[in-house]
A = this chain, B = another copy of it.
Amino acid sequence: MKKNILVIPGDGIGPEVTTWGKAALQQIAKDYGHDFSFDEALMGHIAIEQTGNPLPDETLEKGRKSDAILFGAVGHAMYDNDPSLKIRPEQGLLKIRKELGLYANLRPILLFDELLQASSIKPEILRGTDILFFRELTGDVYFGEKQRSDDRNTASDLMIYHRYEVERIAHKAYKAAQQRSKKVCSVDKANVLESSRLWRETIQEIAKQYPDVKTTHMFIDNAAMQLIKDPKQFDVVLTANLFGDILTDEASQIAGSMGMLASASVGDGTGFFEPIHGSAHDIAGKNLANPLASVLSAALMLEISFGLKEEAQTLVKAVDKVLKEGYRTKDIADKQTASDKVLGTREMGDLVLKYLAK
């Protein structure tokens, strides 16, 4: 199979981790006889520095033409400390999501048995958890109009949804649920928000077309609680952009660490694959980042964009093997288990490749 893959390393630990996602794809290509070619492009703070634009036209162009995108992260402390800066790294990410029509963000909460202990949650609560989040990614308060009064004392963001935006992601979520445990939990705040009431109405309508799937509705505050209290109750969780952002980061604690979670953004065209962890500037360049989420993002690409299930499984198994043998990056090391072998980013990446090679 011949594919063009665009790598967008971005900021912070982005370059360090995408190196390993890319290397894993190269190894798979070699082992399975595929022809993957790679190009690279700028986004985020590094793009602002080099071009003045968090998403240069060239990146977008390359993205449109590629078969899939492997992305790292964007962000930088200087923007976080100065809210008045007008040009910001995150704008690049939001714009590419919108421009490529990446309206459905899939975040599987994959639980490796070996990491049960790495979580702050009790193993008996976690064991058996298998959640697939569908986060809407191109609507909501992220993209509604932003305003700041002339005197700078009032600021607003419009939380807005159109029915078709809810419908199209709902269909994706229900179809996925049909292949899984046939449950969709839709999360909103319909007791307060009009946009949530539209969300709930729409889901109620779509649900009728999937009578084999059991639908429940939960308020976001309750969902944030239930996710910790009893994660096993969930199968597919379907929610809006902002609520999805919050819930999936929270859910990373189920998998033991943010460093383990991959995500796939899909929609109208090219798929976009990224770890859910951010740029983590505090550990950037220190060989501390966990490369496994990028490797698992590559696995999602193989499965979802290229339909290469076996290849994807091979990647996941290599990650599993590394963990089974007790290797850990710092974020997933169990302070209580002296037998953990703690590795840096490069050593962990190398090891995955080694296990992959045969």
Cross-interface CB contact of A194 among B121, B147, B153, B227, cutoff 8 Å: B147
Q: In the complex, how many angstroms separate the beta carbon of A240 from the nearest chain B beta carbon?
A: 11
A190 partner, pick from B83, B194, B229, beta carbons under 8 A: B83
**A307 / chain B contacts, CB cutoff of 8 Å:** none
- CB of A87 within 8 Å of the partner chain: no
Contact B148 A194 (CB under 8 A): yes
Contact code string A150-161 (vs B, CB < 8 Å = 1, else 0): 001111111111
The reply to whether B225 and A258 form a contact with Cβ atoms under 8 Å apart is yes
- Which residues from B are CB-within-8-Å of A200? 83
- How far is it, in angstroms, between the C-alpha of A201 and the C-alpha of B162 when the chains are bound? 32
Q: Evaluate whether A90 and B162 lie within 8 angstroms (CB atoms) in the complex, with A120-B122, A225-B258, A228-B120 already known.
A: no
> Which of the segments A8-16, A242-250, A337-345 contacts the partner chain?
A242-250
Contact assessment for B198 and A120 in the assembled complex, using a CB-CB cutoff below 8 Å: no
Q: Of A25-33, A215-223, A265-273, A286-294, which stretch is located at the interface?
A: A215-223
Most buried by B among A79, A120, A121: A120
Q: A191 to chain B: which residues have CB within 8 Å?
A: 75, 79-80, 88, 90
- Having A80-B190, A90-B191, A159-B159, one finds 11 other A-B pairs with CB under 8 Å, namely A120-B122, A120-B125, A121-B122, A156-B160, A221-B245, A221-B249, A221-B250, A224-B250, A225-B249, A228-B253, A229-B253
Binding site for B on A (CB under 8 A): 75, 79-80, 83-84, 88, 90, 94, 120-122, 125, 141-142, 144, 146-148, 152-164, 189-198, 200-201, 204, 217, 220-222, 224-225, 227-230, 242, 245-250, 252-253, 258, 278
